[in-house]
Every structure is written in structure tokens, then in C-alpha cells.
Amino acid sequence: MSPFTPPGETREKVYRFVRRRIIEDLPPTVREVQEAFRFKAVQTARQHLERLVAEGRLAKARGQARGYRLPREPGTLFVPLLGRVQAGGLREAIEACEGYIPVQSRGSAEMFGLRVQGESMTGAGILPGDVVIVRQQARAASGDIVVARVGDEATVKTLRLGRNRIELHPANPAFAPIVPRADECAILGKVVEVRRYLA
Amino acid sequence: MSPFTPPGETREKVYRFVRRRIIEDLPPTVREVQEAFRFKAVQTARQHLERLVAEGRLAKARGQARGYRLPREPGTLFVPLLGRVQAGGLREAIEACEGYIPVQSRGSAEMFGLRVQGESMTGAGILPGDVVIVRQQARAASGDIVVARVGDEATVKTLRLGRNRIELHPANPAFAPIVPRADECAILGKVVEVRRYLA
DNA sequence: TTGAATAACAGACAAAAGTCTGTTATACAC
DNA sequence: GTGTATAACAGACTTTTGTCTGTTATTCAA
């Protein structure tokens, strides 16, 4: 009454099914796995799932609905995409963000996305309309590409540290470096990723 | 016995809490919302949740554990990141991919990520080491940046359609256009996004 | 043959989670 | 006042979901 399938074959399919569901949507319940594979018994699905956990390919939270997870959190988080940063600071801009974009990140640093305006960084492969992903931090190293607030506007530049002053260098010979007074400038964060959406 | 909070204030917090959970992790259960806000009754959490659904700010699947969702699916999917595409085709490369990266996408097209090698596209702001996100398609329009297989190697170039032939143009004067024979070349897909990881 | 391992099934129980009915209190408009 | 709306609570019921015990069948190795 019970057809025999090669060892591990069904389990592999179960793994792929569960992983897909976890990654794209919502972890499945045991019975959803059962139904997806037309098992006649819940226990069959559970057996496969538990074995996947034992093999370390899945992790689970006991007794919790939809408790199956991927063993290592993929570390994907969503960061707010800002159109522009105006006076006042990030808080307001983040509150009024355009939307959220997925970013892969190991730590739990606060981040945001910012749409780049102007051609001052084309030499570094950052074009107008590109989105930079920024990790919030008030300090950065010389040579880092940073987002800084100068007066009331936010700008993307390469940071150069001089003695007692900071310089913001464009990566485009048509633009001049900015050497702001310390009290009218603040580093908002470091650019950790650049994205360009083409289609 | 029941403190009064301004209308909508708690609901706003509940919304943010639920959205965060949906986006980053796993939709919360009603009781998890209850506990997060120290409500003494499940119904209080449920009331807020149901009202958010009525307002259209949340969607839900009735009677399902962790059934609350965002009204419009954020459409995030994970695409395989390929180190390089060799002979044979994409199938094998995708099977042996380096990992998965999150991509925002409305449709359900098959996509993959590819790490760029060489400097032939620097003029288009695509530098060595950048990752291009590619939507799989066998045809593309003149001017599109595509990933094409020429012989046994995959390459990123701008597509130009001539009469009865295709041309693959680099975006760097130091490189020459490629005009492959039709039988030794195939378009693998169109570049829809460029990413550069800096830190 | 015997035993071990795997795949699958049957039927139930227990806990988790969704749902419901009804109550109290505050604010606000009339 | 009266009525309406919102916020919050109490307690229970129902469904969903996770878990468990036990059984049958097939393959493979000793």
C-alpha cells in the first residue's frame, strides 16, 4: 500500500519546498507540507522535517506555529529609501521615506538608502539616480565614501581627513572639493553599497 | 482601571510593530502583539489588528496562524549569485551558486546575480567586482545592457542590433566591440540592476 | 532469515493561535 | 444629560497546528 521512493529523494524535495517558502513568503505548517506532497499522514511530513532539522539543514522553534527556519538567518533587513535629506536630520526623513529596500547585512547597524543627485561622483561609478546604501555612523576613515550633511543638504563624497578639518572630495574633475566648517557639517554615515536600477 | 491613550496612537505603534515583524522576520501571532504591548486581553490586540485590516493597512488570511501580511506583497525574492558562467549554461551555474541575494521585483521572472569581471563596462558605471542583477530573457532591445554567452564565457556588454547580426559593445574605449557568429552566441538576460558592495 | 534503516500511513491528543460575546471607562458632540 | 465612538479588559470557545504512539512495507546488510 505504500510505494517506495529512493532514500533522500523526497526529503530533498521537501527541503527545497520549505526553503522556498521560508525565503519568499512564510514558513509552511507541517500540514501544508503534507498537502503539498500529497502525504496521507501528517507524520510523514513531520518525519522529513524533523530529519532535516537533525541534519542541520533546517532549524525550528519548538511548539510554535510555522516554526521552521533556515539554520543561519540570511540576515536580510529592509532599510528605508530616502528621496532626499533636508534640514533637521534623518529621523524625519526616515519617517517620510519613499519605501523599503532589502539589504543583506550581518550586523544590526542602522542603515538607510539614499537616491543620489548630481554628477559629482561619476568617477567612482556613482551616477545620478543611483541608490547608495548607507550605514549610519558619525565617524569614518579617510578615503571612505560618506554621506555628509553640509548646511541643510546631504551630499555623497569621498572623505579626506586633514588636521583639525575634514574635506569632502568629489570624484569628478568638474567639481571642487568642499571644506566645510566643523559646525556646519556632520557625517551621516558610510556608503557600503551602490545600486543602479536600469529597468 | 483602564488608562486612556489618544485615539490612533497605540494603533500606529501596533502597525509599525507588525510591519517590522512581517518585513524582517515572521508575522506575529495575535498573542505576540498582545505581549509586546502588555495588553491584558488578547482582544485588545485583535481589535487593533482588525481595524488596521479594515483601514487597508494590513491584509490577513482568516483563521491562519500568523496570517497578517502587508496589503501589497513587497515582492522581494532571492536570486542566486553566480561567480561565473561557464560552458553548458545557467542550470549548472545556478545549482552551484555562491549564495542568494535579495532583489525587489514585481513580476515573477527568473533572475540571477553575476559578479562582473574586467573593465570593459566602466564607462557605464559598471566596475570589476560589481554584481549585476539579470532578468533571464533570450532577446533584448538595442541599447540594453545584457549578459551574453560568447563561446564558453559569459560577458556583460551593451547590445546593438545590426541587420542579421548582433554586436556586443563595451563601454570603454580600450576595448573593441564583439561581433559574434549567431551560432556561438546567446543572450542570457538583461541587466536590470547594478550593485557595488564597498564594505 | 533476521535485524536494522527508511518511507509511508492511521489515528489520536495537546498546545498554540484565531475568534467570539460581553463589560467597563474615557472622550466628545449634541 | 444622552448617545456615539474608541480603548481596554475578561473569559471562554473553536480551529489550527504541533506532537505523539503505533503499524505496515520495502530495501539492504549480516
Residue whose CA lies closest to nucleotide C8 C1': A2
Nucleotide nearest to A11 (CA to C1'): C7
Mind telling me how many Å the CA of B194 is from chain A's nearest CA? Answer: 5
Tell me which architecture the domain covering B76-195 has in CATH: Ribbon (2.10)
User: What is the DSSP annotation of A101-166?
Assistant: EEEE-SS---EEEEE--SSTTGGGT--TT-EEEEEE-S---TT-EEEEEETTEEEEEEEEEETTEE
Residue nearest to nucleotide C15 (CA to C1'): A63
pLDDT tens per residue across span B6-30: 667 788 888 888 988 887 768 999 9
Question: What integer pLDDT is reported at residue B194 of this predicted model?
Answer: 96
Q: Which pLDDT score is estimated for B5?
A: 66
pLDDT attached to residue B2: 41
Banded model confidence at residue B192, pLDDT cuts 50, 70, 90 = very high
pLDDT at residue A108, as a whole number:
66
Give A175 or B78, the one with higher predicted confidence.
A175
> Confidence band (pLDDT; 50, 70, 90) for B197?
very high
The residue ranges of every structural domain in chain A are 9-69, 76-195
Q: Is the pLDDT assigned to residue B41 strictly greater than 80?
A: yes
Give mean pLDDT, residues A109-131: 91
Per cent of chain B over pLDDT 70 is: 86
pLDDT at B32 over 90: yes
Nearest Cα of chain A lies from the Cα of B88 at a distance, in angstroms, of 23
pLDDT at B196: 95
Strand D at less than 7 A from CB of B4: yes
Q: Give the pLDDT of residue B3.
A: 47
pLDDT at A2: 41
Q: How far apart are CA A100 and CA A90, in angstroms?
A: 15
**How sure is the predictor about A16, in pLDDT bands with cuts at 50, 70 and 90?**
confident
What's the whole-number mean pLDDT along residues B117-122?
A: 92
Q: What is the per-residue pLDDT across A50-80, written as a single tens digit (0 to 9) for each? A: 889 888 888 888 889 998 988 765 667 788 8
Q: Which of A2-11, A156-165, B35-44 has the lowest mean pLDDT?
A: A2-11
C-alpha cell of residue B19: 510591519
Chain A within 8 Å of B101 (Cβ-Cβ)? yes
pLDDT in tens, B69-111: 888 656 677 888 887 665 556 667 766 677 788 888 876 678 9
- Class of the A9-69 domain? mainly alpha
Does A157 qualify as catalytic in the annotation? yes
- Does residue B55 sit in helix, strand or coil? coil
Residue A189 has pLDDT above 90, yes or no: yes
**Does any CB of chain A come closer than 8 Å to the CB of residue B16?**
no
* Helix A9-24 / helix A42-54 crossing angle, nearest 10 deg: 80
CA distance B164 to B167: 10
